[in-house]
């Protein structure tokens, strides 16, 4: 009997659903999840620094089964800046959770730097829409939290934190408490905290979504400066088409749920990118290209 996945209609009983999910797993996955040698070995697989193969994610809740992601294949090169854009609920945050190992795919495999992601990994930085700073710690102390948790050398961490603050023009605010900072400044501190241990990978989930337009523009420039200095790989989730075009080497356009990769668009605009770039026909052309994909998908409609 076919299992129908739906959020509203009747749902089959859990054992059938679990059997169906098991049948979708690749044969070697069970061993990998248990953390055998094969799972932890560095693989010489082809593909990028990040290699996502046949990844799907299905959430089984009490009343509903939600297929969040379906058959995602993606390679990201070392040092690349890739944005993921798509309508709400298409699985963007889920994809970042799977990349971080905080959640596991239902099917498929993810490798970062050749290593299979089958558990939470600490070799990355994450920035969310909310800055989640600790209100009782100064900006500097919030950044240094990263080093305290990792038990890394305090003096070296202090030097790096000071440098990072300077790179985002916050050198005068090391001793300020979060309540003394604007939304944009707080988010800069959160980014510095995520980068303190110089992670090779930075995951960002709509990091500028709560900021006003001018602050957002400035943070985009700040982020590109940090990226060009630290040379990490960035996977950046956003709802904003111009933001994705401005920042990225490539844009991954997702379909509505269950999220699939609808199109990958290479952004061949020169770097370093300056705000004036946004007035050029080339920039507007890329915006139209992404908008066109969403129109085709029915996510954007023109009629009034």
Residues lying near Mg ion in the complex (CB under 5 A):
93
Residue 257 as a binder of ligand ADP (CB under 6 A): the answer is yes
Bridge-based pairing of strands 107-112 and 50-60 is antiparallel
Residues with Cβ < 8 Å from 77, sequence gap 6 or more? 48, 49, 233
Q: Which of 90, 126, 223, 244 binds ligand ADP (CB under 6 A)?
A: 90
Q: Which stretch binds ligand ADP (CB under 6 A): 88-96, 115-123, 128-136, 188-196?
A: 88-96
Partner touching 20 among Mg ion, ligand ADP, none, CB below 5 to 8 Å by kind: none
Taking the CA atoms of 273, 278, 284 and 289 in sequence, report the sign of the dihedral they define: positive
CA–CA dist 128, 105 (Å, integer): 21
Taking the CA atoms of 178, 134, 136 and 191 in sequence, report the sign of the dihedral they define: negative
Q: Which residues pair with 265 in a beta bridge?
A: 251
Q: Which of 68, 127, 190, 195 binds ligand ADP (CB under 6 A)?
A: 68
In angstroms, give the least distance from the CB of 128 to ligand ADP.
Answer: 11
Q: Which of 56, 58, 70, 94 binds ligand ADP (CB under 6 A)?
A: 94
CA–CA dist 206, 198 (Å, integer): 21
Q: Which residues pair with 76 in a beta bridge?
A: 50
Structure tokens at 304: 């009034």
Question: Mask of contacts with ligand ADP, 115-154, x by CB under 6 A?
Answer: ----------------------------------------
Partner touching 207 among Mg ion, ligand ADP, none, CB below 5 to 8 Å by kind: none
Q: Which stretch binds ligand ADP (CB under 6 A): 13-21, 84-92, 168-176, 243-251?
A: 84-92
In angstroms, give the least distance from the CB of 237 to Mg ion.
Answer: 6
CA–CA dist 165, 72 (Å, integer): 37
Residue 91 as a binder of ligand ADP (CB under 6 A): the answer is yes
């Amino acid at each position: 009997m076919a299992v129908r996945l739906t959020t509203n209609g009747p749902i089959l009983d859990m054992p059938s659903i679990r059997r169906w999910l098991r049948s979708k797993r690749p044969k070697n996955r069970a061993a990998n999840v248990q953390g055998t040698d094969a799972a932890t070995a560095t693989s010489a697989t082809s593909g990028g620094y990040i290699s996502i193969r046949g990844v799907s994610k299905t959430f089984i809740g009490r009343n509903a089964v939600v297929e969040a992601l379906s058959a995602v294949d993606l390679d990201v090169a070392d040092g690349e800046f890739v944005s993921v854009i798509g309508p709400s609920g298409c699985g963007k945050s889920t994809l970042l959770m799977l990349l971080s190992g905080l959640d596991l795919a239902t099917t498929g495999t993810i490798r970062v730097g050749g290593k299979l992601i089958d558990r939470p990994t600490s070799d990355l930085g994450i920035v969310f829409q909310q800055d989640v700073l600790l209100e009782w710690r100064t900006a500097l102390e919030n950044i240094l939290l990263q080093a305290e948790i990792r038990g890394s050398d305090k003096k070296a961490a202090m030097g790096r934190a000071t440098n990072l603050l300077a790179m985002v023009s916050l050198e005068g605010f090391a001793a300020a408490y979060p309540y003394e900072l604007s939304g944009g400044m707080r988010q800069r501190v959160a980014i510095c905290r995520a980068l303190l241990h110089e992670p090779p990978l930075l995951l960002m989930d709509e990091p500028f979504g709560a900021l006003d337009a001018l602050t957002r523009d400035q943070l985009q420039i700040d982020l590109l400066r940090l990226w060009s200095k630290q040379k990490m790989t960035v996977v950046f989730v956003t709802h904003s088409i111009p933001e994705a075009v401005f920042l990225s080497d490539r844009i991954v356009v997702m379909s509505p749920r269950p999220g699939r990769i609808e199109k990958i668009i290479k952004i061949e605009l020169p770097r370093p990118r300056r705000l004036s770039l946004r007035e050029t026909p080339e920039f507007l052309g890329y915006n139209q290209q992404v908008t066109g994909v969403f129109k085709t998908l029915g996510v954007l409609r023109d009629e009034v």
